[in-house]
Structure 1
Amino acid sequence: MARTTPHDPPPGDDRPLYGRIAALLLDELRDGTIPPGERLPGERHLAARYGVSRETVRQALEVLRRSGLVATDRRGSHATLPGRPVETPESLTFPVGARSADPCAVDRATVTWETPPPEHARALGLAPHRPTLVHRYLSVTPDGRSLRTALTTFSAVVLAEVAELARYRDRADGATPAQLRRAYDWMRKAGLTLHHRDSITQVGDASSVRVTRRVHDQYARPLEITDLVVNAERDALVYEFTLPAAG
Structure 2
Amino acid sequence: MARTTPHDHPITEGEPLYRRIATKLLGELRDGTIPPGERLPGERHLAEHFEVSRETVRQALQMLRRDGLVSTDRRGSHATLPGPPVETPASSGFPVGARWATRSAVTRATVAWEVPPPGHAEALLVAPARPTLVHRYWSASADGRELRTAVTSFSAVALAEVQELGRYRDRADGTGAAELRRAYDWMRRAGLTLHHRDTITRIAGTPSVRVTRRVHDQHARPLEITDLVMDAQQDALVYEFTVPAAV
Q: Which TM class, normalised by the smaller chain length?
A: 0.5 to 0.7
For residues 109 and 217 of structure 2, the distance between their equivalents in structure 1, rounded to whole angstroms, comes to 25
For residues 168 and 200 of structure 1, the distance between their equivalents in structure 2, rounded to whole angstroms, comes to 29
Per the TM alignment, residue 202 of structure 1 is displaced from its structure 2 partner at its CA by: 0.8
For residues 89 and 127 of structure 2, the distance between their equivalents in structure 1, rounded to whole angstroms, comes to 36
- The aligned residue for residue 135 of structure 1 is 135
> Does the 8 Å CA contact 2:209/2:233 hold for their aligned counterparts?
no
- The aligned residue for residue 168 of structure 1 is 168
Number of equivalent positions: 154
- The yes-or-no answer on 1:203 pairing with 2:203 is yes
Equivalent position SS for 2:193: coil
| Correspondence 1:66-215 to 2 at 5 A | 90-99=90-99, 103-215=103-215
Q: Aligned in 2, Cα 1:147/1:195: closer, same or farther, shift over 3 Å?
A: same
Tell me which structure has the larger Cα radius of gyration: 1
Equivalent position SS for 2:107: strand
- The aligned residue for residue 221 of structure 1 is 221
For residues 222 and 214 of structure 1, the distance between their equivalents in structure 2, rounded to whole angstroms, comes to 8
TM-score when normalising by structure 2: 0.57
Equivalent position SS for 1:130: coil
Which amino acid counterpart does residue 170 of structure 2 have in structure 1?
Answer: D
1:159-193 deviation per Cα after TM superposition (whole angstroms, max 9, x unaligned):
00001000001110111000200000100000000
Q: Aligned in 2, Cα 1:101/1:198: closer, same or farther, shift over 3 Å?
A: farther
For residues 201 and 102 of structure 2, the distance between their equivalents in structure 1, rounded to whole angstroms, comes to 23
For residues 162 and 168 of structure 1, the distance between their equivalents in structure 2, rounded to whole angstroms, comes to 11
Equivalent position SS for 1:176: strand
What is the aligned-residue identity percentage? 72
1:102-127 deviation per Cα after TM superposition (whole angstroms, max 9, x unaligned):
74200000000000123000000000
1:196-234 deviation per Cα after TM superposition (whole angstroms, max 9, x unaligned):
000111113351000000000000000000000002589
Which amino acid counterpart does residue 209 of structure 2 have in structure 1?
Answer: V
Q: Which runs of 5+ in 2 are unaligned?
A: 1-86
Equivalent position SS for 1:118: coil
For residues 229 and 119 of structure 2, the distance between their equivalents in structure 1, rounded to whole angstroms, comes to 16
Equivalent position SS for 1:98: coil
RMSD of the alignment, in Å? 2.9
- The aligned residue for residue 230 of structure 1 is 230
Which amino acid counterpart does residue 97 of structure 1 have in structure 2?
Answer: G
Per the TM alignment, residue 143 of structure 1 is displaced from its structure 2 partner at its CA by: 1.2
TM-score when normalising by structure 1: 0.57
Q: Aligned in 2, Cα 1:175/1:101: closer, same or farther, shift over 3 Å?
A: closer
> Does the 8 Å CA contact 1:149/1:228 hold for their aligned counterparts?
yes
Equivalent position SS for 2:127: coil
> Does the 8 Å CA contact 1:100/1:148 hold for their aligned counterparts?
no
For residues 205 and 100 of structure 2, the distance between their equivalents in structure 1, rounded to whole angstroms, comes to 20
- The aligned residue for residue 48 of structure 1 is none
For residues 233 and 191 of structure 1, the distance between their equivalents in structure 2, rounded to whole angstroms, comes to 37
